[in-house]
């Protein structure tokens, strides 16, 4: 495992990876948890397309913010409150996606498997039975995509 620091808005992921000794002809697992929301849509899609061009058995996992237009009224309030708070801290969320459109974009980028988990699936799979009662909010999404 190698950590590679990249400014996705000004650098190309493939260049940064090659500088770190990345082998473009081998499958890879990419974790971008807590990253996509802070990228512009163009930078996010460029990065996802690059990963989707890598060899078969390549996988990526990332979380993302949903477009407020696809949220219920109560989830939209949570989304809007959250985006206001993080923007005030200097970390605005720059990209938002609608799940069906994102899945189509990922398939167009070369991914053959797309698993997009919503809050209920995340809760069941990763947080069920926690003694502290931690719950996922209604705006959480988690994607695992592979080639």
pLDDT of residue 140: 86
Which residue ranges form the domains of the chain, and what is each CATH number? 27-146 (3.40.50.150)
**pLDDT tens per residue across span 82-121:** 999 999 999 999 999 999 999 999 999 999 999 999 999 9
Between helix 41-52 and helix 99-108 the angle, nearest 10°, is 40
Whether the per-residue pLDDT at 62 is higher than 90: the answer is yes
pLDDT value at position 137? 84
CB 83 within 8 A of CB 66: no
Per-residue model confidence (pLDDT) at position 113: 98
Furthest CA-CA distance within the chain: 47
pTM as predicted: 0.91
């Amino acid at each position: 495992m190698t950590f590679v620091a990249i400014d996705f808005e000004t650098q190309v992921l493939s260049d940064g990876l090659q500088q770190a000794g990345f082998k473009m002809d081998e499958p890879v697992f990419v974790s971008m948890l807590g990253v996509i929301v802070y990228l512009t849509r163009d930078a996010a899609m460029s990065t996802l397309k690059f990963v989707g061009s890598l060899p078969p058995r390549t996988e990526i996992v990332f979380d993302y913010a949903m477009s407020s237009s696809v949220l219920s009224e109560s989830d939209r309030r949570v989304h809007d409150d959250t985006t206001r708070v993080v923007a005030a801290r200097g970390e605005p969320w720059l990209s938002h996606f609608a799940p069906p459109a994102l899945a189509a974009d990922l398939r167009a980028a070369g991914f053959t498997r797309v698993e997009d988990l919503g809050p209920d699936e995340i809760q069941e799979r990763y947080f069920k039975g926690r003694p502290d009662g931690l719950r996922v909010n209604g705006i959480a999404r988690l994607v695992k995509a592979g080639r």
